[in-house]
Amino acid sequence: MTILAVDRVSISFGGVRALDDISAAFGAGEIVGIIGPNGAGKTTLLNVICGLNTPDAGAIRLGDRVITGMKPNWIAGMGLARTFQTSQLFSGMSILENMMTGLHLRSRATLFGAALHTKRMRAEEAELAARARDALDFVGFAAFADQPGDSLSFGQRRIVEIARTLISDPKIVLLDEPAVGLSINRVAELDQLLRRIRDEKGVTLVMIEHVIRLVMGVSDRVVVLNSGQKIAEGRPEQIRENPAVIEAYLGKQVDAGRAAS
């Protein structure tokens, strides 16, 4: 069952055609890897899906609704969450407060409710905090709840950010290079975490990643972009052997399994 569909999307910046007639479909509960050389249009594709950029042509559908041109916060409210290449943990808040911010759309307190400290508002805050702790527990970071956001290492922040997107029970999460800067052991942990998110929570994951070992290992399907065009799509083992991919991305003379990490 397709829950997110990108339908013939194009977008240009100045003279550069960043996405050229891209179509792709993402099903419920699958992990899809997006790979491609630098400048292929991968992040632009995520930006277009989550509403940060509006495509020049084409449509994006989430479920049965067209979301093209909607504001990012609306799209977030419809069950689509994402992480970014650079750490986006709010450094002025504790980890727990960061997680609670992820529940913004699931909470109701108004300005007056907050100012008057109503019983309802306090009950809601307690519930948010409990859910935040549960979500931290899922990724093994419960012990860090009260630390400031900027006290974590780069790799730890990425994991907490993934937890922050999961807390609002999204249908689909876009991950922009979750493994960047992680050590090999950490990549293995991330691999396990991504599988658990898919299997235990049934969340669809769309992941841009340069760490080929991770993408090929964990993805159910892989989409390959090059110069704004989709050049291949298929199961990881098919992608490995696709001559167009090898030529465009992995290079002609290089052993495909070890290259480009």
Partner 1 sequence: MRLQALVSNRSFLTLLFGALLVLPAFANQYTLFVGNLMLLYIILASGLNILVGFAGQLAFANAAIYGIGAYGTALLQVHLGWSFWAAAPVGAVLAMVIGTLLAFPALRLSGIFLALSTLAFAQATQWVLWHWQSVTFGAGGFRAPPVNFGWIPIKPDYGIYFVTWAVTVVLLLFTWRIMRSRIGRAFVAMRDGEIAAQSLGIDLLTYKAMAFALSSFYAGAAGALYSALLGFVSPEGFDLFQMIIHKAMIVVGGLGSVVGSVLGASLLVYVMELLREFKSTQEIVFGALLVGFMVFQPNGLVVFLKRWLPGWREPLHLAGHAEPKASVLSGSFKGATSDERPAAERA
Q: Please give the structure tokens belonging to residue 231.
A: 């050049």
Q: What is the CA radius of gyration of the chain?
A: 19
Indicate which single residue of 44, 68, 156, 242 sits in contact with partner 1 (rule: CB under 8 A): 44
Contact segment (CB under 8 A) with partner 1 among 1-9, 60-68, 100-108, 246-254 equals 100-108
Contact 87, 123 (CB under 8 A): no
Cβ proximity to partner 1: between 85 and 189 the closer is: 85
Rounded to 5 degrees, φ, ψ at 181 are 80, 5
67, 70, 81, 211: which one binds partner 1 (CB under 8 A): 81
Query: Is 10 near partner 1 (CB under 8 A)?
Result: no
Return the number of the residue (74 or 202) whose C-beta is nearest partner 1: 74
Helix %, strand %, coil % for the chain, to 5? 40, 25, 35
Tokens of 255: 């052993």
Shortest gap between Cβ of 104 and partner 1 (angstroms)? 5
Q: In what order do the strands lie in the sheet with 204-208?
A: 80-82, 172-176, 204-208, 31-35, 221-226, 229-234
Q: Which of 1, 14, 243, 253 binds partner 1 (CB under 8 A)?
A: 14
Contact code string over 122-141 relative to partner 1, x by CB under 8 A: ---x--x-------------
Q: Which residues lie below 8 Å from residue 234, measured CB to CB, with a gap of 6+?
A: 221, 222, 242
Choose one: 49-57, 186-194, 214-222, 231-239; the region binding partner 1 (CB under 8 A): 49-57
Rounded CA gap, 104 and 164, in Å?
A: 11
Q: Which residues bind partner 1 (CB under 8 A)?
A: 13-14, 16, 18, 38-45, 47, 50, 52-53, 71-73, 76-77, 81-82, 84-86, 88, 90-94, 97, 100-105, 107, 109, 111, 113-117, 121, 125, 128, 148, 150, 164, 168, 228
